[in-house]
Homo-oligomer: A and B are copies of this chain.
Amino acid sequence: MKELKIFSPATVANVSCGFDVLGFCLDTIGDEMVIKKTNKKGIHITKIEGYDLPFEPQNNVAGVSALALIEDAKPNFGFEIEIYKNIKPGSGIGSSSASAVGSVFAINELLGKPYNKTQLTNFAMKGEALASQCEHADNIAPAIFGGFTLVKSTNPLEILQLPTPKDLFAVIIHPQIEIKTSESRAILPKEISLKNAITQWSNVGSLVHALHKNDYELLSKSLTDVVIEPYRSQLIPYFNSVRAEALNTGALGCGISGSGPSIFSLCHGNETAQNIAQAIKNVYSKTNIPFEIYISKINTQGIKIL
């Protein structure tokens, strides 16, 4: 195999109660990339469509993660990368992770799979760090492993693959506003009350239990965030209205996707997902803010070859 095309999915990190540790994978939105073996050593980004991103590998998220991999693998050939970017950078649904994951996944395939998923996560984290100034895996892990993931620890890196209930759908609204990552980080408190922390870890525990038990009701009760959302939701116009409408229309939960501005809802079944999407559309149509809405089943496979 000398060349392949891959689909690198968007992802939702945090999932309300699981700030910095939980995430899940989407399947109707993602980037495509074509990777080719070349005689010329190194990483060469030859095409970028969709968004304006740097071509120099060391300044490009997909380039940095690919460089981290080949620095370890030391192949006596190189790779050309074409990036067809569908996930808008800064949308809060793992745009940089999709780039970071795509190149390392594809190169690993072309090398004959010398690395396992955890090792690929490690390489991809180097790319993610270029975009977010810190190495974290809460978007990368679900993109690589699929389904729901829990980042047990980053040093050493340990990813847990959680079960995904059948018929679980996500609805994402991406209001086309810019929230600077630095701002969405800076707004967070350094310290939180022990009381809120207890609520949060009880919810993380019950969410994991709910996934194992296929218990939608418990999942719904676990999807709350008393720690981060009160701060970050202020940066997202009409967040409360979107959530109220989503919950009224049958959503199990609704929260900020990653650091926003995207908002995710989870629900049981495609029909409810369609209804929620319509209800949210009604909210945002009354504003002057452009937006995109996506409906997606939870993607249990993760990144894949097309």
Chain A residues close to B by CB (< 8 Å): 17-22, 150-153, 158, 160, 162, 188-194, 197-209, 212, 218, 221-222, 227
> Separation in Å of the A229 CB from the closest CB of chain B?
14
Taking a contact as CB atoms closer than 8 A, the residue among B17, B189, B193, B208 that contacts A209 in the complex is B208
Taking a contact as CB atoms closer than 8 A, the residue among B153, B193, B200, B212 that contacts A201 in the complex is B200
A151 touches B202 (CB 8 A): yes
A-B pairs with beta carbons under 8 Å apart, 11 shown: A21-B201, A21-B202, A22-B205, A152-B206, A160-B209, A189-B194, A190-B193, A197-B227, A201-B201, A202-B204, A205-B208
Residues in B whose Cβ lies below 8 Å from that of A150 = 202, 205-206, 209
B201 touches A17 (CB 8 A): yes
Residues in B whose Cβ lies below 8 Å from that of A19 = 198, 201
Residues in B whose Cβ lies below 8 Å from that of A189 = 194
Residues in B whose Cβ lies below 8 Å from that of A203 = 152
A18 touches B191 (CB 8 A): no
Report the nearest B residue to A153, measured CB to CB.
Answer: B202
